[in-house]
Every structure is written in C-alpha cells, then in structure tokens.
C-alpha cells in the first residue's frame, strides 16, 4: 500500500471545499493516535483550517482553499523535526491511501493555529489535507547518481560480486523512493550513502526545514528498501 502511495502522491495546493467524511476522519485520527504513541509526538487533526493559510504566499498557490490541516507538534528535542518528518510522512502516505491529498506547509499563520500546544512543546510545521482539485504534478527530480554514494567494497566482496550489480537492490529501491519524497522548495538537499559495512546513512546537507526533510526522506527510503513495514505502525 505504501509503495503505491509513494509513487502516486504529489503535493497538492488547491482544494475543494468538501470536508473529510466522518468515516475517513475516524480512520485518520486513529492513525494519528498510533503514530503519536510510536513517535512520542502530538500530531493533531484540525478539521477547520480557518485562516491558517491566509498569508499572501498561501493564497497565491491556492492553499487558502484547504479545508483542514495537521498541526505537527511535539516536545522540544534535538530530533523533534526529524521525527515529525518521519512519522508525518507515514501519515501523509496513509492519507493518500484513503483518497485524500496533502501538502507539507512551512509558511502559515501560526497565530491562527488552534491546536493544543503544551509547555515545552513546539509547533514545527503543518500538513494541508483534504480533497484536491487535482492530483498535483510530477516535479523535476535529481537522479540516483546525484544523491547516492556507495563506498568501495572489499576485494573479497568484489570477487563474490563479479559480474553482478555491486549496488544491492534494496539500496537502489530505497533511493528511488527517497527521490519521490517531498522536500522544502523541492531542494532535495540530501545524500544517501551505502557504507562498506553494508549499512546506510542519510546525510543532511542543510537548508530550510532540512531536518523535517531528513525524516521524510528516511521514511520513503526505508519503505522502498523494505526496512520499514508501515502497515504495522
């Protein structure tokens, strides 16, 4: 389900006025509760977006029409932004499977957010959610070679891999899914490295909301590589 959602999902910025049906909303809120427990977060579905997206930039791209949003909140911590990205992306992909459209939004009217934010909690970002007037569009993307780095394998490994692709399929599949991950202003400022010990690491190259992006990219990569069974979350 999630692989299909990764391939089908695009950021949507113009929405119908239609509210999310009760049955779908219940499923969405149940998933939010599960992810909050798993990620130690305080994600909240806000049915009425009101004027959260009333800034000029939001209106210019059409987000002012979005009926609802997810407030991405958690206790302040060094890894909060990355966890928001990771578990928020699982939620985004789940929403896609329910027939909903989404868009990660970092520019919004914070004063209009009506979510519950406790002491020592931080509102990091929002996710616009609803029924899009379209399904978004494919955006220009970097290539596998642009973002992937593969460490030199040992001589013993080379002999074993003679005539074979020295890049394992799980890593290649993970990178391909990571390239479909939404990032702030489509910057894709990350590298995914396969080390000589067979372990991978995702390297943050900085930029606006780069830590959130890191979590989103990691989520897509792990789903594509078969390292995360999101259906069990």
| pLDDT reading at 60 higher than 90 | no
- The answer as to whether 218 is a domain residue is yes
Over residues 55-75, the mean pLDDT reads 88
Structural domain boundaries, residue 217: 2-140+168-232
pLDDT of the residue at 179: 97
**Is pLDDT of 129 > 50?**
yes
pLDDT at 157: 46
What pLDDT is attached to residue 154? 45
Domain count of the fold of the chain: 1
Q: Is pLDDT above 90 for 104? A: yes
Coil, strand or helix: which one is 172? helix
Q: Is residue 152 part of a domain?
A: no
Sign of CA dihedral 233, 136, 204, 142: positive
Q: Is the pLDDT of residue 165 over 70?
A: no
Complete DSSP assignment for 94-118: HHHHTT-EEEEE--S-GGG--S---
59 compared with 82, residue with greater pLDDT: 82
Helices marked H in 98-202 = 144-147, 155-160, 169-178
In this prediction, residue 145 has a pLDDT band, given cuts at 50, 70 and 90, of very high
Torsions phi, psi for 62 (to 5 deg): 100, 0
Q: What percent of the chain has pLDDT over 70?
A: 93
- Average pLDDT score over residue span 46-73: 89
Q: Between 123 and 162, where is the model more confident?
A: 123
Residue 118 lies in a domain: yes
CATH at residue 49: 3.40.109.10
- What angle, 0 to 180 degrees and rounded to 10, lies between the N-to-C axes of helices 210-224 and 169-178? 140
The per-residue pLDDT for 156 is 47
pLDDT (mean) for 8-32? 95
Q: How far apart are CA 85 and CA 30, in angstroms?
A: 19
Tell me: pLDDT of 43 over 50. yes
Exposed, middle or buried by CB within 10 Å (0-12, 13-18, 19+), for 143? exposed
* pTM tops 0.75, yes or no: yes
Edge-to-edge order in the sheet of strand 148-150: 148-150, 190-194, 200-204
pLDDT of residue 228: 83
Do the domain assignments include residue 153? no
**Per-residue confidence (pLDDT) for residue 163, from 0 to 100:** 45
Average pLDDT of span 24-29? 97
| Residue 58 included in any domain | yes
Question: What does the pLDDT average to over 12-29?
Answer: 94
The answer to whether residue 103 is domain-embedded is yes
Domain assignment of residue 149, yes or no? no
Q: What distance separates the 2 farthest-apart alpha carbons in the chain?
A: 62
């Amino acid at each position: 389900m999630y692989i299909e959602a990764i391939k089908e999902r695009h950021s949507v910025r113009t929405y119908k006025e239609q509210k999310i049906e009760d049955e779908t909303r219940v499923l969405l809120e149940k998933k939010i509760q599960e992810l909050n427990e798993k990620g130690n977060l305080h994600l909240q579905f806000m049915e009425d977006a009101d004027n959260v997206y009333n800034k000029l930039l939001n209106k210019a791209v059409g987000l002012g029409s979005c009926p609802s949003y997810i407030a991405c909140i958690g206790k302040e911590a060094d890894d909060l932004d990355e966890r928001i990205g990771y578990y928020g992306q699982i939620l985004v992909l789940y929403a896609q499977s329910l027939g909903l459209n989404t868009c990660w939004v970092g520019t919004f009217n914070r004063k209009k957010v009506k979510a519950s934010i406790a002491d020592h909690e931080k509102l990091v970002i929002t996710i616009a959610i609803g029924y899009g007037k379209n399904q978004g569009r494919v955006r220009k993307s970097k290539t596998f070679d642009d973002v992937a780095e593969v460490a030199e394998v040992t001589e013993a490994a080379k002999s074993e891999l003679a005539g074979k692709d020295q890049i394992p399929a799980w890593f290649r599949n993970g990178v391909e899914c990571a390239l479909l991950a939404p990032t702030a202003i489509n910057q894709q400022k990350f590298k995914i490295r396969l080390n000589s010990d067979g372990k991978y690491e995702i390297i943050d190259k900085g930029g606006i909301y780069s830590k959130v992006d890191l979590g989103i990219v990691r989520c897509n990569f792990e789903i594509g590589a078969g390292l995360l069974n999101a259906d069990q979350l």
